[in-house]
Amino acid sequence: MEQKIARSEKSDFWHDKKVVVTGGKGFLGSYLIELLKEKKPKEIIIPKHSEYDFVNFEDCNKITKNADVVIHLAAKVGGIGFNQEKSGELFYDNLMMGVQLIECARRNNVFKFIAIGTICAYPKFTSVPFKEEDLWEGYPEKTNAPYGLAKKMMLVQSQAYRSQYGFNSIFLLPVNLYGPGDNFDPKSSHVIPALIKRMVEAKERGLEEVEIWGSGKASREFLYVEDCAEGILKATEKYNKSNPVNLGSGSEITIKDLAYKIKELTEFEGNLRWNLEKPDGQLRRCLDTSKAEKEFGFKAKTSFDEGLKKTIYWYTSQ
């Protein structure tokens, strides 16, 4: 997959570090690895899924031995339908991966651990924009609570381990990602690739209508994947606290407006039909991103329209 990666800032942090990136061959991971290569660390290790199962403790122990930095991107994840169908797997697999990797990293004296959480961890009823301090003010939206809570336990562990052991781990909360190379599998994709795929295929097949789940009233915030990768590396270099930090673009769009924007960009001329029997999910999601800018100088660069055009171009050119 071709990716246009922005030049990253030079930093002495990386030059003697052996860096493990779980999920390094995934959507976000592929961008992060390209940026990381520019940092020229001592070694980059990308565990193969066929060789390592991080639900298995011994595999977690093996991969963290002799590592200096572990960036944990690997996750089992999907959209609303996937979360409803696989809620038990999403809870168990994500919980065990996070808990065991952090524990093994501590035992093996890893210099720094970067845990990647999810905004699904936020309470269903949260003031908008979401502030990190509100993370424990209620239960998550039920359609993705098992996944959100499993990832949230890494925050609890990170704070507990810093308190008891002085273990340096950080916890980042990226908003919904999108971009070239996203997951377009209709069984597990998120809303942007799902809508792009449906409308491109409907246009090619001459269909008159595309069905979309929910009412379209819910809003979401999206972060271009390359921007997220840059934010994670900035935090790895500069942030050394266990307080959670949001990574986002700081703006939101309703699913209805998103759908019509994608309709226009894909040049699909048919109608959009809203399936009100399907859930909207959480009504609003938009992050307060001021802490990331204050603590480690991260601010998203890619405009939403620019990112969408790149994503659609990538998909239609495949």
Q: In which region does residue 109 sit, left (phi positive, over 0), alpha (psi from -120 to 50) or beta (all else)?
A: left
Distances (CA, A) of 265 to 174, 195, 197, 259, 318: 26, 11, 12, 10, 17
- pTM (2 d.p.): 0.90
Domain boundaries, the chain: 15-176+225-249+286-301
Q: What is the pLDDT of residue 203?
A: 95
Angle in degrees, CA 76, 153, 134, rounded to 5: 110
Does residue 5 surpass a pLDDT of 70? no
Strand partners, 209: 271
How large is the average pLDDT for residues 2-6? 41
Does residue 199 surpass a pLDDT of 80? yes
Residues 67/108, Cβ–Cβ less than 8 Å: yes
Residues 80/282, Cβ–Cβ less than 8 Å: no
Q: How does pLDDT run across 140-198, given as a tens digit for each residue?
A: 988 889 999 999 999 999 999 999 999 999 999 999 999 999 999 887 788 999 999 99
Does residue 300 surpass a pLDDT of 70? yes
Q: What percentage of the chain carries pLDDT values higher than 70?
A: 97
How large is the average pLDDT for residues 5-34? 86
Residues 298/234, Cβ–Cβ less than 8 Å: yes
Q: How does pLDDT run across 54-106, given as a tens digit for each residue?
A: 999 999 999 999 999 999 999 987 777 777 888 999 999 999 999 999 999 99
Q: Among this protein's residues, is 147 annotated catalytic?
A: yes
Q: How does pLDDT run across 229-277, given as a tens digit for each residue?
A: 999 999 999 999 989 999 999 889 999 999 999 999 999 999 999 999 9
Helix axes 87-107, 57-64, angle to 10 degrees: 40
Both structure tokens of 15: 């030059």
How large is the average pLDDT for residues 100-120? 97
Backbone angles phi, psi at 167, to 5 degrees: -80, 130
Length of the chain: 318
Does residue 8 surpass a pLDDT of 50? no
How large is the average pLDDT for residues 203-222? 94
Q: What is the pLDDT of residue 7?
A: 43
Q: How does pLDDT run across 302-316, given as a tens digit for each residue?
A: 999 999 999 999 999
Q: What is the pLDDT of residue 44?
A: 98
For domain 15-176+225-249+286-301, the CATH superfamily is NAD(P)-binding Rossmann-like Domain (3.40.50.720)
Q: What is the pLDDT of residue 223?
A: 97
Q: How does pLDDT run across 213-232, given as a tens digit for each residue?
A: 899 999 999 999 999 999 99
How many C-beta atoms lie closer than 10 Å to residue 134's C-beta? 16
How sure is the predictor about 10, in pLDDT bands with cuts at 50, 70 and 90?
Answer: low
Q: Which of 31, 92, 139, 147 is the catalytic position?
A: 147
